[in-house]
Chain A
Amino acid sequence: MKPEEIQKIAETEHDLRMSYKYRINVCCSSGCLPFGAQKLLKAFEDTIKELGLERVCKVARTGCVGTCSVAPVVLIDPGNHLYQNVKPEDAKKIVQEHIINGQVLEEYLYKNEAYFSKQYRLILRNAGKIDPLRIEDYIAVGGYSALAKALTQMTPEQIIYEISLSGLRGRGGAGFSTGQKWNFVAKSTAKPKYIVANLDEGDPGVFANRTLAEADPHAIIEGMTIAAYAVGAEKGFIYIRAEYPLAIQTLKKAIEQAKSYGLLGNNILGSTLNFDIELRLGAGAFVAGEETAILSSIEGLRATPRPRPPYPAVSGLWGKPTLINNVETLANVPLIILNGGTWFSKLGTPKCTGTKCFSLTGKVKNPGLIEVPMGITLKEIVYEIGGGVPDGKKFKAVLVGGPSGGCLPESMLSLPIDYESLTQAGAIMGSGGIVVIDDESCIVDTARFFIDFCMDESCGKCIPCRAGLPKVREILDRIMLGEGKVEDLKVLEELCYLIKDASLCGLGQTAPNPVLTTLNYFKQEYLAHIVEKSCPAKKCILKKVEVVKE
């Protein structure tokens, strides 16, 4: 295929799209499927067929719209009318009123303006708008034109320059400069080079990468292919959790389609670039998402992290230079190539550019997948997008960054979201999980839950993480039972600092964050358990221990 042909497909598809007066997008992602999205899709298709509206209205199966709290949802274009909690039996009514009579059905309409007005959908630009199983849909909205531009008009150096200029930083959590990373790999002389796209999203309550893969798989593939051209790689791996069947299916299909269109394989778009992508499924280890453990896992070994240096850019997969990027990072790449690095660098904050996807869950009115510009405050996310705590309960804390994130109190809500501010506050950007906790939850219990998770997922290679986390949990258990002593807090803190500083990989280095931040911001709750033998949230069943006088 030649670059001009992409343009041609885009035009034909665009014309086809324009020939329909209406387009009904039925969300069929993991958030809506359990609520009967498949049946809903069929109901709409049947209704349209029944009424003979096939040439007027197109029913499309799309990815996530982002409002998972009101699933299943249907988005009708033009006009971006979002209908919530739609049941298959409502299909007829909606088609009759909206498509035939042109009347918007107010009673089904999603009316929460604030949820979308604060968001800036860049990575999720196509989510809910295109059919992820059709490559033509992606091409129609400008897909693969960035790849064509990169291959025909730019040198690898220019691409890396633009990426550096954009200020894009790794969305996997650590926030390393993407341009610099690409540069390191490009400079390595050893051959072959590899690219790994990290889709091993293991954090509980986090579903951003999954949604991206389910809604817009080609954005990942296009980003990877551009990266391959920039760094000189010829083979790519997408490492995905086996627990994401729909995302796997979607990506498999997308890779197949890209291959059949000559967008993967040899001489891509008539250039000299040869690049192929293979899916690798994880075997259930959370730590496999760590930058070096992912390499071991792809090589077929135990997913245990390796000491750095050597960095993967020098010695990665099978000892060869390897570029490892999160899929969210890669999905930004086509946009930067199309619009330029300067454009991207103006989004967000000067040090932390662009947008970030967050999985907003816990005790908020509107949970779901959101994408916000960097620099937005936590308050805006929790209260304006999230709608605050429901059922008249009181806000207590917000956990930012997944299981190894930090618990921040109300006083920290004015904190802007960027890598530095979060780290300073004791939290991390991590995988982008935001869990809101209300006053019904016990802080000690929350910290224990996340320590328990990290303890279970520790690979066991290094001693601080393997032997330290069980001890941290043991102390928290004791405190929750009312058997804690004030001295325990000191031991707990010392243990946490050891695990944080001396562990081998990111899992251990961040695992104590929930304990350290809660000790910092919610010490009185620990003391209430220990001294007063009572749980402020009335969650823990404390043993009344009689004080024995010696």
Chain B
Amino acid sequence: MSERIVKLIIDGKEIFAKPTDTILKAAIDNGIQIPTLCYLEGLTPHGGCRLCVVEVKGNPKLMTSCTTPVSNNMEIITNSPKLIKYRKQIIELLLAERIHTCSVCIANGSCELQELASKFGVDHTNVSRNWERFELDMSHERFVLDHNRCILCTRCIRVCDEIEGVHTLDIKRRGKDSMIIVDLDEPWSASYSCTSCGKCSAVCPVGAIYVKGKPLSETKRKELPKFITERRRR
């Protein structure tokens, strides 16, 4: 039988956690902050944004704290200079990947990417920025899908699949050409499966999916998946 409580050290602080916890959960529960972007409580962890990577003693590789379970006597460092540098670089790459001009973005002021950038002091990028434009999908009567702001965190895909249970959204193509699509790459208004529940707009960390005519501060609800999954468990 595995022990019911494991002891681990995060940033020199001794903490206790359940063996089913991830490093991220153990850290949050003990007031240690690890930056995340694609992670959202209530959804299957994705492990794609790599912002939550931590150093685990004895492991040469960096581990994503959102997917790695804790184990006894684990020693974890969450904020070494190397990790901070990598996080900055990742934010830079995201800002450079598509058109992220905060001043004209609907998410200005309620954007997780913007928050992270200001937290890490990313005020410029060392790599050149992309200015390729994608067409907006404004066909749906309530929602807008703006690929220019999308960071491909797949929160919308996961919430649509796992919480709403319809899997309207998915990704087409691969690599830098990846794009969020509706059904089989149709205009949103032509979608048969979409229930217009709006969960995708509630969890989008940036301004890629939003509700028409409403400020994002009103429509964004990060805690929604957690709330629903906890209600279901009861």
CB pair B175 A501 closer than 8 Å = no
B175 touches A460 (CB 8 A): yes
Number of interface residues of B (CB under 8 A): 33
Q: Are A498 and B175 in contact (CB under 8 A)?
A: no
Stretch from A118-126, A193-201, A431-439, A462-470 contacting the other chain:
A462-470
Q: Which residues of A contact B86 (CB under 8 A)?
A: 498, 501-502
A459-B47 contact given A491-B126, A502-B86, CB 8 Å threshold: no
Establish whether residues A285 and B47, one from each chain, have CB atoms under 8 Å apart when the complex forms: no
Q: Does the CB pair B178–A466 fall under 8 Å?
A: yes
A502–B175 touching, CB < 8 Å: no
Q: Which chain B residues in 177-203 approach chain A with CB under 8 Å?
A: 177-178
B127 touches A455 (CB 8 A): no
A-B pairs with beta carbons under 8 Å apart, 5 shown: A460-B174, A461-B46, A462-B48, A463-B93, A491-B127
When C-beta atoms are compared, the residue in chain B nearest to A494 turns out to be B89
List the 4 closest pairs (A to B, CB-CB), nearest first. A460-B178, A307-B47, A458-B175, A467-B93
Interface 9-residue window, one of B24-32, B61-69, B116-124, B141-149: B61-69
**Which residues in A have their C-beta under 8 angstroms from that of B53?**
502
With A467-B96, A470-B176 as known contacts, state yes or no: A502 contacts B47, CB within 8 Å.
Answer: no
**A65 contacts chain B at the CB level, 8 A cutoff:** no
Which A residues fall within an 8 A CB radius of B?
285, 287, 302, 306-307, 309, 455-471, 474-475, 491, 494-495, 498, 501-504
Question: Total contacts A to B, CB within 8 angstroms?
Answer: 94
B90 touches which of A302, A307, A502, A504 (Cβ 8 Å): A502
- What residues on B are CB-neighbors of A463 within 8 Å? 48-50, 90, 93-94, 97, 151
**Is A498 a contact of B90 with CB atoms below 8 Å?**
yes
- Apart from A460-B171, A470-B176, what 8 extra A-B contacts exist at CB < 8 Å? A307-B45, A307-B68, A455-B176, A459-B174, A463-B90, A469-B176, A471-B93, A502-B53
Q: Given the complex, which residues of B lie within 8 Å of A460, measured CB to CB?
A: 152, 171, 173-178
Least distance between B81 CB and chain A CB atoms (Å): 13
B174–A468 CB distance below 8 A: no
Q: Is the CB of A474 within 8 A of B50?
A: no
Q: How far is the CA of A309 from the CA of B70 in the complex (A)?
A: 11
Cβ-defined contact, A466 with B152, below 8 A: yes
B217 interface contact, C-beta 8 A: no
B128 at the interface (CB under 8 A from A): yes
B176's partner among A285, A302, A466, A503 (CB-CB below 8 A) is A466
Residues in A neighbouring B175, C-beta threshold 8 A: 455-460, 465-466, 469
Which B87-134 residues sit within 8 Å CB-CB of chain A?
89-90, 93-94, 96-97, 126-128
* Contact call A501/B152, Cβ cutoff below 8 A: no
* Among B50, B97, B152, residue most surrounded by chain A Cβ atoms (within 10 Å): B50
Nearest-Cβ distance from residue A293 to partner chain B, whole angstroms:
11
A302 in complex: contacting residue of B47, B50, B126, B171, CB < 8 Å: B171
A419 to chain B, nearest CB (A): 14
CA distance A522 to B66 in the complex (A): 39
User: Is B128 touching A474 in the complex (CB atoms < 8 A)?
Assistant: yes
CA distance A474 to B64 in the complex (A): 28
Contacts of B90 in A (CB 8 A): 463-464, 498, 502
- The listed residue (A287, A466, A495) touching B89 by CB distance below 8 A is A495
The 8 A CB mask of B33-73 against A (1 = contact, 0 = none) is: 00000000000011111100100000001101001110000
Q: Which residues of B contact A494 (CB under 8 A)?
A: 89, 126
> Separation in Å of the B140 CB from the closest CB of chain A?
24
- What is the bound-complex CA distance between A458 and B96, given in angstroms? 18
Q: How far is the CB of B120 from chain A (nearest CB, A)?
A: 14
Q: Once the chains are docked, how many angstroms separate the CA of A465 from the CA of B97?
A: 12
